[in-house]
Chains A and B, each alone.
Chain A
């Protein structure tokens, strides 16, 4: 079909019948993706569906076993990222590739610097970038160091990096995973601007809202296979999620009204010092969590939620106040003693959640290896560890290349998260602290984890959820506490509030006088 004249093709990039295999897994099985000029094309799929692999093929990082890539109808050979750059293909990775101690300007020109008699000249670059940033509405401070700027501005820096190199095809790998709701809105506008200016955009995501909002067409992958390509205008969230997961998915959490019982966690006038400045990161916070309810701490990232969880779980020392868990004062107890009644799904799965160089089964017993079930006379009972891991893998559908012996590092982010959730929920503790439990997960996995948390609630557990996703906050929680600048500024009933009102509390525009008082 591409027998047309070069340049006359409707598509800027075509990836035809791409097949890429890894030991034990076919990551891409006969996948076709065609990107029109000036469109925003979403690539949708669950974790492990093969989205990143496909993009790595396009970027020359992997060599496919079968298939071909065409640009403007002409077959091209892409053997390494330099080839991709020469073809004006640019990519913003999920984890930014910036040098923290360099300025924004230096990061943008890095690798494409102008020199004069061997010396670096920045003048031409500066004016070119300033023009680009104005044209596309990409506000950045060119002289700020990357380590000092917000994540949103870092992302804009990455986009400018691509534009500076005159890239026409822009790939965004899950660009919203690290952004706040406001920044996501800004990014959506930027993407539209870019497409309007004739850039072709590939947008990798598994967030249906964003895809519906911004894309023109959607290509769906499932378990390495091509499912189909649809026009966004002719589809809806339900159809997309069904295509992605391969079965009807419940998008709204199905739960009965909560029946709160006894108080499990009682936080009184709790303060945690900041690691960065002299003020308290968490200041005089008081609330209770009862059995059989899901209490959510909502807020924009960096308003003390992380510090509160560190203080609660014992990773950081508290400054003042008290914590009572299951009628026991745990304010000064160590992590092991606290965890007797508390399980913790940590915010950062690579830092705290997993030992990446351990196998999956070793990670499954990270807290429990000292229990008699898994050791005898200090010798690890390997058979028991194996069968326990296999049971959790089966029960929570954790997918990996080699089962229990897979190195955690080689697993996909979603399956890493599933492994952590499996481990923590199976520990069967009275209080479950879940910090962004569905971060970076696809619809199917989110549905599963949400239903698991509701099931735990109905089994009488107390659940403290910390989430940045407003949708999750609204649909999952029984009570919402909004945290702003380290203080709880409001308590809301999800049945009686809406996202707009929540947003007002989250940005500090409204606050109730609940500080220090009982809000339960």
Chain B
């Protein structure tokens, strides 16, 4: 018994170590880029190179510069809070990719599902009059609506796969752009474009804004908190935002809210579902071997659709929580580019070996790199794209993680498991 548990423990240890090696190599690559760029550019002095290296590793812990211009480090609640805030959608899109992957599906459709989620949430949050419906109900409806929209959007590739055996990757790529165009179209038609703050063109209202529908001289229009004299107030919308649950005092000056807790909670729930319940068992059975699942009277088609729906719901929740933060603004002309957070979810899931619990940490780590990159831009002549290099290297290495893992196991293990696919059967 103990020997078996030990085997499993070393297996887990090896997986974690492999992920750490990927991360470390990625950071070393980033440092190399910093040094090379620094040496090639005359405008960057040696001190800046050293600053850049420190920021790319510890940017979140930067507390500015001291009197003599040296970087100072310590706990910085603002950046730390921002890191957690940005981790929230990454954990959820990572979860989306990871859950689908466990069922044998590659959900590259997270960006589209994310957009579907944010779109539905913004429409619900900004359309239901908070003058007649309690704000928390509007928030809940918006959040659930966002998840549902993501789920429905995820269902499309799922249905195509289950019923017509169309490759989900192709279907996902197409639904991504369909979603991007549809969202642009819907917002273009809507009355949610921010016309109150005149400087902001192309953005949707923040959900936390108060929007008053009024009639002035017989014409219906909208106003902010200041209602012009003589106007007749029809209804008030907006003022919806995810509760901060005191996190804003813990991480003063940051964008953080309760959304991160929801993301972590969902990751834990799906870890339990995938590992401990009959539903997870069924989903994995279908993912590993659809024919065997069918043979064992597990409804394979239903499970494929369900898996994509859950994946879509997670990506939808990512969009929804981001939109409902109240301090974010949505640029509605999305048809030309897809949200990066959806694709980064793939890296998050890869690095976490599709383990929902590990996704919490890898999602946070990606966000950590993100903030470091931002610091690099703010405090040195470098720009944040260096962190993209790091992420890219990590993604590549994650793909090679199987190899790293067997390499870690040494040659004996390599002989047994590396070739296990075809030749590893120990038989006579």
For residue A243, give the distance in angstroms from its CB to the closest CB of chain B. 13
Given known A-B contacts A339-B297, A354-B289, A413 and B281 have beta carbons under 8 A apart: no
Task: Please give, as numbers and ranges, the residues of chain A lying within 8 Å of B427 by CB-CB distance.
Answer: 47-53, 412-414
A26 to B417, alpha carbons, bound, how many Å? 15
Q: Does A319 contact B (CB under 8 A)?
A: no
Task: Please give, as numbers and ranges, the residues of chain A lying within 8 Å of B234 by CB-CB distance.
Answer: none
A375 to B280, alpha carbons, bound, how many Å? 12
CB pair B424 A410 closer than 8 Å? yes
| Chain A residues touching B, range | 35 or more
Flag the segment in A253-261, A289-297, A362-370, A479-487 that touches B.
A362-370
Nearest neighbor of A55 in chain B, beta-carbon distance: B428
Partner of B285, one of A27, A45, A315, A355: A355
CB pair A410 B281 closer than 8 Å? no
Task: Please give, as numbers and ranges, the residues of chain B lying within 8 Å of A380 by CB-CB distance.
Answer: 276-278, 281
Q: Does B210 contact A (CB under 8 A)?
A: no
CB pair A358 B426 closer than 8 Å? no
Task: Please give, as numbers and ranges, the residues of chain B lying within 8 Å of A367 by CB-CB distance.
Answer: 296-297
CB pair A362 B428 closer than 8 Å? no
Q: Does A61 contact B (CB under 8 A)?
A: yes
Q: Does B186 contact A (CB under 8 A)?
A: no
A315 to B277, alpha carbons, bound, how many Å? 26
Given known A-B contacts A45-B428, A369-B278, A380-B276, A23 and B416 have beta carbons under 8 A apart: yes
For residue B287, give the distance in angstroms from its CB to the closest CB of chain A. 9
Q: Does A62 contact B (CB under 8 A)?
A: yes
Q: Does B425 contact A (CB under 8 A)?
A: yes
8 Å CB interface, B279-296 against A: 279, 281-282, 284-285, 288-289, 291-296
A362 to B292, alpha carbons, bound, how many Å? 12
A402 to B8, alpha carbons, bound, how many Å? 11
CB pair B284 A358 closer than 8 Å? yes
Q: Does B65 contact A (CB under 8 A)?
A: no
For residue B417, give the distance in angstroms from its CB to the closest CB of chain A. 8
Partner of A352, one of B295, B423, B426: B295
Among B288, B291, B292, B298, residue most surrounded by chain A Cβ atoms (within 10 Å): B292
Task: Please give, as numbers and ranges, the residues of chain B lying within 8 Å of A334 by CB-CB distance.
Answer: 297
CB pair A315 B424 closer than 8 Å? no
Q: From DSSP, what is the main secondary structure of chain B's interface residues?
A: helix
Q: Does B415 contact A (CB under 8 A)?
A: yes
Partner of A221, one of B281, B412, B428: B428
CB pair B425 A411 closer than 8 Å? yes
For residue B71, give the distance in angstroms from its CB to the closest CB of chain A. 48
Task: Please give, as numbers and ranges, the residues of chain B lying within 8 Å of A351 by CB-CB distance.
Answer: 289, 291-292
CB pair B292 A354 closer than 8 Å? yes
Task: Please give, as numbers and ranges, the residues of chain B lying within 8 Å of A403 by CB-CB distance.
Answer: 4
8 Å CB interface, A331-369 against B: 334-336, 339, 344, 346, 351-358, 362, 366-367, 369
Q: Does B200 contact A (CB under 8 A)?
A: no
For residue A259, give the distance in angstroms from its CB to the closest CB of chain B. 32
A346 to B297, alpha carbons, bound, how many Å? 13
Q: Does A379 contact B (CB under 8 A)?
A: yes
A274 to B417, alpha carbons, bound, how many Å? 39
CB pair A52 B420 closer than 8 Å? no
Given known A-B contacts A357-B288, A405-B8, A378 and B416 have beta carbons under 8 A apart: no
CB pair B425 A27 closer than 8 Å? no
Interface string of B266-277 (1 = CB under 8 A from A): 000000000011
Q: Does B244 contact A (CB under 8 A)?
A: no
Partner of B428, one of A47, A62, A346: A47
Q: Does A56 contact B (CB under 8 A)?
A: yes
Nearest neighbor of A313 in chain B, beta-carbon distance: B295
Q: A61-B419, A351-B289, A358-B284 are in contact. List 5 more A-B contacts (CB 8 A).
A: A23-B413, A315-B295, A335-B295, A379-B278, A410-B420
10 intermolecular pairs with C-beta atoms under 8 Å apart:
A23-B412, A51-B427, A53-B428, A61-B423, A357-B289, A366-B285, A369-B278, A380-B281, A409-B421, A410-B416
In the complex, the 4 A-B pairs of residues with the closest C-beta atoms, listed nearest first: A49-B428, A412-B427, A51-B428, A336-B297
Residues of A participating in the B interface, judged by any CB pair closer than 8 Å = 21-23, 25, 27, 45-53, 56, 61-63, 206, 221, 313, 315, 334-336, 339, 344, 346, 351-358, 362, 366-367, 369-370, 375, 378-380, 401-403, 405, 409-414, 442
